[in-house]
Amino acid sequence: MNHDRSRELYDRALSVMAGGVNSSVRATKPYPFFIQRGDGGHVIDADGNRYIDWVMGYGPLLYGHQIPEPVEAAVQSHTAAGPIYGAPTEIEVKHAEFVARHVPSVEMLRFVNSGTEATVSAVRLARGYTGREKIVIMEGGYHGAQESTLVESGGGPTDTRPSTPGIPDSFAEHTLTVPFNDPEAAQQVFEQHGDEIAAVMTEPTLGNMGIVQPVEGYHEMLRELCDDHGSLLIFDEVITGFRVGGLECAQGKLGVTPDVTTFGKIIGGGYPVGAIGGQAEIIEEFTPAGEVFQSGTFSGHPVTMAAGYEYLNYAAENDVYGHVNDLAEQLRAGITDICEDQAPEYTVVGSDSMFKTVFTRDRPEDGDLCEAGCEQRESCCRYDYCPKTGADVADAATDRWERVHWQEMKDQGVFLTANQYESQFVSYAHTQADVDETLEAYKQAL
């Protein structure tokens, strides 16, 4: 494959943008390919090379690069009408009504411009609502580029420090970390700090850490701990929202009701978006209804709202989730078989339209049961070791993973994320042929 044009663009980018990119994960080695355009489930790079795209913009693109007609029409008419006004529009109300109708815990919403902004605002809301300062998060969880959650644990839950320069130690002190799927650790942190904890914030499924499924009863236990101590349970559904569990989101699938939910990615229909939803009593703490300040020039942008609303509405009227979940299940099962034959040290994880291959090195003894509730439980219990915490995934990361899954798959025309942390996504534009070709490429690469 020729990449001359991408290389040239990257050289130019390096002199005007830090690391040559506007989001760190895009700086793949030795240089990223620059995209010229999308086509269905594929992308075409600046040199004209075509790839099957399982990155899907890191999650938002439920329809791939093939925008459903009503979405395109709504975007065009809202663009043509003059994009923003500094005054409310009907489409914001329609979108909020749709989400409130479908997501069990949501009565009311505030739209913002990114998943990061949603989690920042949710943390402020929880602190304002409860009058408490501490928040509990999961090791290996990801909530965007925000001060309260860019922390790492030095061992215990209170031994947190910033995970990046630029954040004062005194900020990190207010964040407590526990390992995902560890009920005792959560109970302990509540025993010691229960009356200081404003909220527990967690992804229902860790989606930025190789995909870690919750063990049975874990979220129910968090729900109970929060109820017992007057803390809020925040589900960060920026990835899982309208992907896992369809229109009810992961909370509907799990049957656990959070107090507050953060959204992003899919609900903007491919445009920048975030949202904070929950019971009216809590969401109405935001200004101007309540006292917790929240505001944004571009919030509820009509073009984004139109795209997001039509995106979801299309999924309500067509068998979108059936299609994407079926293709993803074929990929998970197919890759599991290939790994069993050729590379037993890889584990296939995921559910719904998410999949990922994680290099775990070990396989369980025969008869060991997987405790994680992953969907291919049967094959999982026979062949695989499912990660249960973020640390399980991090421990297994290697250069080898990157060489096989990024370099070799890319050379065969399959675009995957370049590390073993971020999930792959199936879209409505993907076809049976894409699945077959991808499995063939896995056979070669592994």
Ligand X SMILES: *Cc1c(COP(=O)(O)O)cnc(C)c1O
**Cα 27 from Cα 22, distance rounded (Å):** 9
Crossing angle of the two packed helices 432-445 and 320-342, in degrees rounded to 10:
20
Give the catalytic positions in this structure.
142, 236, 265
Binding residue (CB under 6 A) for ligand X from 115, 204, 269, 300: 115
- Residue 203 vs 329, nearer CB to ligand X: 203
In sequence order, which residues have a C-beta less than 8 Å from that of residue 282 and are 6 or more positions away?
Answer: 125, 129, 232, 259, 260
Site string for ligand X, 221-240 (x = CB under 6 A): ---------------x-xx-
- Give start and end residues of each alpha helix (H) in 343-408: 377-383, 390-395, 399-402
- Residues 137-176 binding ligand X (CB under 6 A) are 142-144
Q: Which residue has the tokens 């925040």?
A: 234
Residues paired with residue 51 on neighbouring β-strands, in sequence order? 43
Residue nearest ligand X by beta-carbon distance: 115
Answer yes or no whether residue 308 interacts with ligand X by CB under 6 A.
Answer: no
State residue 45 phi and psi, 5-degree precision. Answer: -85, 180
Q: Applying CB under 6 A, which part among 110-118, 185-193, 223-231, 327-335 lies near ligand X?
A: 110-118
114 binds ligand X (CB under 6 A): yes
Show the site string, 176-205: x = touches ligand X by CB under 6 A, - = not: ---------------------------x--
DSSP 359: E
CB of 57 to ligand X, least distance (A): 10
Please count the residues of this chain forming the interface with ligand X, following the rule CB under 6 A: 14
Of 350-369, binders to ligand X (CB under 6 A) are none
- According to CB under 6 A, which one of 119, 130, 347, 427 is a site residue for ligand X? 119
**Judged by CB under 6 A, which stretch of 114-122, 187-195, 304-312, 387-395 contacts ligand X?**
114-122
Stretch that binds ligand X, among 6-14, 111-119, 308-316, 334-342 (CB under 6 A): 111-119
Binder to ligand X among 49, 181, 205, 208 (CB under 6 A)?
Answer: 208
- Helices 320-342 & 302-317, crossing angle to 10 degrees? 80
Kindly list the distances between the CA atom of residue 189 and the CA atoms of 12, 95, 126, 169, in Å, as whole numbers in the listed order: 49, 38, 18, 20
Judged by beta carbon, residue 264 or residue 270, the one nearer ligand X is 264
| H/E segment holding residue 325 | helix 320-342
For residues 128 and 194, the answer to whether their CB atoms sit within 8 Å is no
Q: In terms of CB distance, is 119 or 427 closer to ligand X?
A: 119
Total residues belonging to the chain: 446
CB of 135 to ligand X, least distance (A): 14
What is the nearest approach in angstroms of ligand X to the Cβ of residue 111?
13
Q: How far apart are CA 93 and CA 108, in angstroms?
A: 10
Phi first, then psi, for residue 442 (nearest 5°) are -60, -40
Question: Which residues bind to ligand X, rule: CB under 6 A?
Answer: 114-116, 119, 142-144, 203, 207-208, 236, 238-239, 264
